[in-house]
Amino acid sequence: MTDIPLTITEAAEGLRAKRYSSVELTSAMLKRADSLDSQLGVYITRMDEPALTAAAQADAAFAAGVDQGPLQGIPLGIKDIIATKDAPTTAQSLILDRKWGEGIDAPVIARLRGAGAVIIGKTSTMEFAIGMPDASKPFPVPRNPWNPSTWPGGSSSGSGAGVAAGLFLGALGTDTGGSVRIPAAFCGISGLKQTYGRVPKAGCAPLGYSLDHIGPMTRSARDGAIMLQVMAGYDASDPYCADVSVPDYLAALTGSVAGLRIGVERANHLTWPGVLPEAVSAFEDAVAALASAGAETPEVVVPHYQQLRNANTLMLRAEASSYHLADLRVRFEEYGVHTSKAVSGGAFASSGDFVQAQRFRSLARQEISELMAPLDAMVMLTVGCGAPEVEGLNHASFAQWPVFTGPWNLLGLPAYAIPIGFTASGMPLSMQVVGKPFAEETVIRIADAFQRLTDFHLQLPPLVAAAV
């Protein structure tokens, strides 16, 4: 099989039209990984044998007339901080007990398997989803398929790079301060952080208890809707999971934004230090496309923006420090240098700091609720630059990048990162569609409508185009 489909939607149609089988599709993606992954570092653990077994089961179900839905027979990658019963979970760390999650599927994994998906492997991340690439540890240093000298973004690095490179058709990432949306932005794919509590996160090694999300990473917004449909819904194993009904996300994809009021946030994004002129231009073109399709695009200003960023960072590090404190005391040197620095820094946040951040969070939720009341959604840049070079990456440089994801973790609102163009050097650019609580269907509808007007999400990195 040489003509590998780009999207879940396309592959699902091909499987039902019998243009190829799930075994053929899975085998082709494993073969592509044989060719490309030595350059990209996508996988920590490949699951060839169980993946091919699951693909054969999907084919047998099709032959018996059983259709479990659009994920049946579709190869997916899983960020290696989420438990899978047939592969170890490492969190890309020497610290995590190798028996953690042993023999267990996290609820989201069980739901994906129940829909017939093929789990093809565990993907690289940053250590415990917070570090930076660390070549001193025995794990892959993930690379961006658009330019292997650059970073795919963290911490869902392997998931983002793997979707962009066509090593699988969708993936799970996690997002505590932007770790689904940043790699989606840098890799030119679509990444959704849904409302906090919409998807159960039991069976996922925690980073920030009140900030963590498990989200789908795919080429298209439509594919993200397909994955979210299966992932979403209450599960008692997660005390933070919301018992809220799940709508039909695909039914919401009308292809139209006519009559929607989409607030445009320029004030806190377009003039931020480090934002490239190409990012401003691409964003304005994206807004113009939505307006030409019938959306109203009033200008809005998010209040207390810098404080939103600061509060998310403080809470993330404080909650991470709480989880890791015992290991930090006795195994500090076994952590990667970037992770130990980031996590231990949270111990310097006082109880008063944490309480004040929580008080501010409550105020900000009310103010953002009032801001969004007359709107259907907002748009702003995801990241104002292209992917940086891997060499020289550190937390000091990261703090200077124009990254605009953290506030929406603090507030728990759904945010979809989608491609909008390229830098002068050919690296992807991205914007976010941010919605009201549990209004993912509106966010996905806007993202999908934009992707019907453009084809940025369907562009192949040169490395992959040469291998096709």
Counted residue by residue, the chain has a size of 468
Question: Quick check: helix, strand or coil at residue 390?
Answer: coil
Contact indicator for 174, 79 with CB cutoff of 8 Å = yes
CATH code at 8-467: 3.90.1300.10
How far apart are alpha carbons 449 and 99 in whole angstroms?
Answer: 44
Residue 218 forms beta bridges with which residues? 170, 190
Q: Is 149 a catalytic residue?
A: no
Q: Which residues of 72-86 are buried (b: 16+ CB within 10 A; e: fewer)?
A: bbbbbbbbbbbbbbb
pLDDT in tens, 226-244: 999 999 999 999 999 999 9
Catalytic residue among 21, 27, 79, 190: 79
pLDDT in tens, 330-380: 999 999 999 999 999 999 999 999 999 999 999 999 999 999 999 999 999
Query: Percent of the chain at pLDDT above 90?
Result: 94
Amino acid at 150: T
Q: Alpha carbon of 232 to those of 199, 248, 320, 413: distances in Å?
A: 5, 11, 25, 15
pTM for the structure as a whole: 0.98
Catalytic residue among 155, 159, 190, 220: 155
Q: Is 79 a catalytic residue?
A: yes
Contact indicator for 449, 222 with CB cutoff of 8 Å = no
Assigned token pair, 215 = 């989200």
Q: Which residues of 9-39 are buried (b: 16+ CB within 10 A; e: fewer)?
A: bbbbebbeeeebbbbbbbbbbbebbeebbee
Q: Is 27 a catalytic residue?
A: no
Catalytic residue among 93, 179, 340, 344: 179
- The residues near 457 (Cβ < 8 Å, ≥ 6 apart) are 188, 189, 190, 219, 220, 221, 418, 419, 451
- The residues near 186 (Cβ < 8 Å, ≥ 6 apart) are 144, 146, 150, 151, 152, 153, 160, 383, 386, 387, 427, 428, 430
Q: Mean pLDDT in the chain? A: 97
Contact indicator for 285, 421 with CB cutoff of 8 Å = yes
pLDDT in tens, 297-323: 999 999 999 999 999 999 999 999 999
Q: For residue 396, what pLDDT is reported?
A: 78
Q: What is the mean pLDDT of residues 184-212?
A: 98
Q: What is the mean pLDDT of residues 117-140?
A: 95
Q: For residue 395, what pLDDT is reported?
A: 75
pLDDT in tens, 61-71: 999 999 999 99
